[in-house]
A and B are shown apart, each in its own frame.
Chain A
Amino acid sequence: MVTHNSCSDSQSNLQIEVSNLDLSIRNIKLLNDISVTITTSGVTMVLGPNGAGKSLFLKCIHGLVTPTKGSICFAGTHDYPKQAMVFQKPVLLRRSVMQNMRFASQTQQSMTELEEALVSVHLSDKKDYPATQLSGGEQQRLALARALITRPELLLLDEPTASLDPASVLIIEDLIQKAAREGVKIVFISHDIGQAKRLAADVLFLNRGQMVEHSEATTFFTTPQSNEAMAYLNGEIVL
């Protein structure tokens, strides 16, 4: 059962306050008593080994998965902000690139705006191309452009650059940094420590469904507080 604890007053634009978050599926505890308050603007990077519960944590924040216990507050309320999520495997409608963009734009965004968004992901020359026939990198860029066209306050990214070529990674990182500069709060799951160093304002480190560490990026990468995080950063296998 999800408890609705009262949310604390928020001073920042989009403070995310997670309290005592538990998630069990078939009596297996997948997230265990996670409490964290994210107050930073920009990119919050979620790191941790496979099976740590990163994606489930993100889905709980997004509202896709209902936690067994605990609460999540956004800017001091239980109301979800305007948000969008990009999945590890991009989900694209069986339509053209432009039709995918148009489907997501619920407001009166002009064609020019949609075309500009496609230019930003280097897909303007493929606007009439079937979206599902794009390459992996192009599909992910389209998914990101489509998410951003909805003008989210909170953008959740579940390994959007996993197995992409460096050129696509660069385009996506540029877009993410631009969105962050424009005030979009971004929570980003990655296994790429280099990428985390390039983008993160703060880092959440999860292991075995538990919050192990939450600290500013510079602190996390220079003086991690937990043995697990230290091992992870050293490239050791964390179990």
Chain B
Amino acid sequence: MLTEAFSEAFALIMSADADLYEILWLSIQVSLTALFLSILLGLPIGSALAITNFPGKGICITILNSLMGLPPVVVGLLVYLALSRSGPFGVLGLLYTPTAMVIAQVVLITPIIAALTYQVMDDLHKEYRDLFFSLGIPLQKAIGAYLWDARYSLITAILAGFGRAISEVGAVIIVGGNIDHLTRVMTTAIALETSKGELSIALALGIILLALALIVNGLVTSVRSRARHYGYA
């Protein structure tokens, strides 16, 4: 039965099944949009935390680090409450739409990107701080230098966020509802098809998801090892 399911799964992938690729495409769209928004939020938050000093900074860092481990279902529930009819943003009618899924993923992965950015930038800031002071480098130029010189580590942080977004199921199933042709993504489809006993579709999606994870991690490893080899990371 298992062999049969695997061969059917590969057949589905090779046949470019329309439903399968619709799910794949939506998953990538939602996760990339969430990733883009999280980069816009997470990089400045992490960088600002690393470079500036203010009272309560330690508490902010602790909170940020704690938020990295946010349970997806709790995030899903909170976003659901915020977007539901009786919630503060209910009027926008976003519940059970891909936008709601993007919001949930942004809430989940922004702390990851921000916290990892903070760690990278904090190390670099400690290394460069005295040099920049000594050379009289203005803050704007210094921030540019931090971002550029930390680029390989930041790419890793960003891809870690993408990995979390694309593989997440708890939050998106609550706020997206797993509606066919509308909010069904790979993870929610796998959960559904497995519960229905449709192992071939679940396996096909699982194989694609694993392949995506492998490609992303392979890229990270290759970029980082090249950067290390040339002393740029």
Contacts and interface: CB of A to CB of B under 8 A. Distances in A.
Given A91-B128, A93-B128, A93-B145, A85 B134 contact: yes
A196 B186 CA distance: 71
A89 B233 CA distance: 18
B232 A62 contact: no
Contacts of B230: 130, 133
Nearest to A93: B149
B228 to A, nearest CB: 10
B231 interface: yes
Interface string A105-143: 010000000000000000000000011110000000000
Interface in B144-179: 145, 149
Q: Chain A at the B interface: mostly helix, strand, loop or mixed? A: mixed
A106 B136 contact: yes
Contacts of A104: 135
Contacts of A87: 130-131, 134
Contacts of B232: 94-95, 130, 132
Interface string A142-161: 00001100100000000000
A51 interface: no
A126 B94 CA distance: 57
Chain A CB within 10 A, most for which of B127, B131, B230, B233: B131
B133 interface: yes
Contact of A150 (B127, B136, B149): B136
Interface in A64-110: 64, 82-85, 87, 91, 93-95, 103-104, 106
Nearest to B150: A94
B120 to A, nearest CB: 12
B233 A94 contact: yes
6 contacts: A63-B133, A64-B133, A91-B127, A94-B149, A94-B233, A150-B135
Interface of B: 127-128, 130-131, 133-137, 145, 149, 230-233
Given A130-B230, A147-B134, 6 more contacts: A91-B128, A94-B231, A103-B137, A104-B135, A106-B136, A131-B231
